[in-house]
Amino acid sequence: MKKFLILFAVALIGMSACDVNPKDEFIIYNDTELCSIVDGKILTDNGLTYEIVENNTEANLAEYNRAIIVCDILKLNEDGSYQINLKSITKIQIKDYTDASTLPEGVIPTGYPVSPQSIWFSGGYLNVGFSFYLKVNSSTVHNIDIIAKRPSKEGDVLTLYLRHSAEGEPEGKIDYEAYTLVGSYISFKADDLFPTNSTTDIEVKWNWFSNPDSPESSDIIEFSEPGSIVRKN
């Protein structure tokens, strides 16, 4: 079986393309961060505050609550915040997770195929990177959800079911000419699931193709992988 990339506790975001410019024109360039936007300020999940002094995007920050940004860090302010040149910004959806105990008879819905790429806790959110097959030129709205099943007895772990609602597409096997693989991130309000300064053992479950290398000719089955989520604050 093809190994799925599940990253627990440490995100790739905020760690890529952070290079010092030898001419000292700015401190860091092409810094990539997952962040929250509060009162026009960018608060990164790494605990930094960014002030936009140059904006190369057409984004209206008032329309953003959570986002992935790429920026150049220009200067350190006296208050400890940083002045930045905002180069790109991508909106990240924020959702509530679903508690399994609230589902009718506790039945977990099956959902459509979705592949987890990364899972970690930062910025007060459970963040999930995912991918799925989308019909080419489709206008159908797809939804990604997390269903959390809390431990019922000592020795059990928190189970997270990653679910994909596709409103009828794709139906079963994938036709490569009609579908394309897409991916994104989503943040879930899951503050109560992960205590501060703790490590929580989890098991992630999702539905994907039995032969990931040949989805057009394979069945859809459930995959499962154990791990842990570290929350520092």
pLDDT confidence band for 106 (50 / 70 / 90): confident
- Mean pLDDT across the chain: 86
DSSP bridge partners of 229: 200
pLDDT of residue 170: 64
Give me the number of domains the chain comprises: 2
Question: Stretch 77-92: mean pLDDT, rounded?
Answer: 96
pLDDT of residue 24: 54
Same domain membership, residue 225 and residue 113: yes
- Predicted model pTM: 0.86
**Contact of 120 with 127, CB cutoff 8 Å:** yes
Whichever domain contains 64, its CATH number is 2.40.50.500
**Mean pLDDT lowest among 48-52, 110-114, 211-215, 218-222:** 211-215
The label of the residue with tokens 């002030």 reads 51
Nearest alpha carbon to residue 160 among 119, 113, 199, 129? 119
What are the residues whose beta carbons fall under 8 Å from the beta carbon of 64, sequence distance 6 or more? Answer: 37, 89, 91
Domain residue limits at 98: 93-231
Whichever domain contains 131, its CATH number is 2.60.40.2370
pLDDT confidence band for 5 (50 / 70 / 90): very low
Nearest alpha carbon to residue 162 among 130, 202, 136, 125? 130
